[in-house]
């Protein structure tokens, strides 16, 4: 090799086979894909590596040269409904304002706290003597609520109504 030539960069081991996941927008016009929008995905060969391209139908009409392609659909996106999380937080505040010795209500308070912890509206700060310590995100104060025993069967009962009411999910996202 002389001073006028530059060494050709080679991809690191395994890199030549790494192809990115579906893009959230069109590789051509950069417009974000809508939920369940039909579009084309393809593989473009650039030198000694492959790159994925996702194209909306209008950009596909320009007939890009791709090594391989297929028609696909953007996955259905569930809208995150911030107002419903806010409603859940307000519901929880009311539960805290009017504590109850009713075991059912204590369980609902506890489950709502867990849901809000998942949504990062409260922070779980430990459990002691049958009480769950919670740091509230909206005012920074801590409070304690009963940490009631809840069986798996009991967990199934409040889930559907609470999920429906606040349009959230108990299951992992």
Q: Please report which confidence band the pLDDT of residue 5 belongs to, taking 50, 70 and 90 as the band edges.
A: very low
Q: Residue 145 — φ and ψ, nearest 5°?
A: -130, 160
Over the stretch 74-110, which tens digit does the pLDDT of each residue have?
988 776 565 578 888 888 999 999 988 988 888 889 8
Q: Give pLDDT, residue 161.
A: 58
**CA distance linking residue 116 with residue 118, whole number of Å:** 5
CA–CA distances in Å: residue 163 to residues 3, 93, 115, 151: 68, 18, 10, 18
For 161-171, letters b (16+ CB in 10 Å) and e give: ebeeebbbeee
Give me the residues paired with residue 132 across strands: 127, 145
| DSSP codes, 69-118 | EEEEEPPPPPPP-HHHHHHHHHHHHHHHHS----HHHHHHHHHHHHHHHH
Over the stretch 112-165, which tens digit does the pLDDT of each residue have?
898 899 888 999 998 889 899 999 988 989 999 999 988 877 766 655 556 555
Task: Characterize the bridge pairing of strands 38-46 and 131-136.
Answer: unpaired
């Amino acid at each position: 090799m002389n001073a006028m030539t530059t060494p050709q960069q080679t991809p690191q081991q395994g890199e030549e086979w790494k192809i990115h996941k579906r893009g959230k927008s069109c590789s051509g016009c950069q417009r974000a894909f809508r939920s369940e929008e039909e579009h084309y995905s393809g593989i473009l060969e650039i030198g000694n590596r492959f790159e994925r391209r996702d194209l909306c139908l209008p950009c596909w009409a320009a007939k890009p040269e791709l090594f391989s392609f297929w028609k696909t659909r953007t996955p259905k996106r569930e809208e995150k409904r911030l107002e419903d999380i806010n409603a859940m937080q307000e519901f929880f505040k009311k539960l805290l304002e009017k504590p109850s010795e009713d075991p059912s209500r204590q369980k609902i308070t506890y489950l709502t706290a867990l849901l809000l912890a998942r949504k990062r509206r409260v922070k779980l700060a430990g459990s002691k003597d049958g009480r769950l310590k919670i740091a509230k995100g909206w005012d920074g104060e801590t409070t304690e609520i009963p940490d009631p025993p809840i069986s798996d069967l009991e967990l199934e009962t409040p889930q559907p109504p609470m999920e429906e009411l606040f349009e959230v999910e108990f299951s992992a996202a």
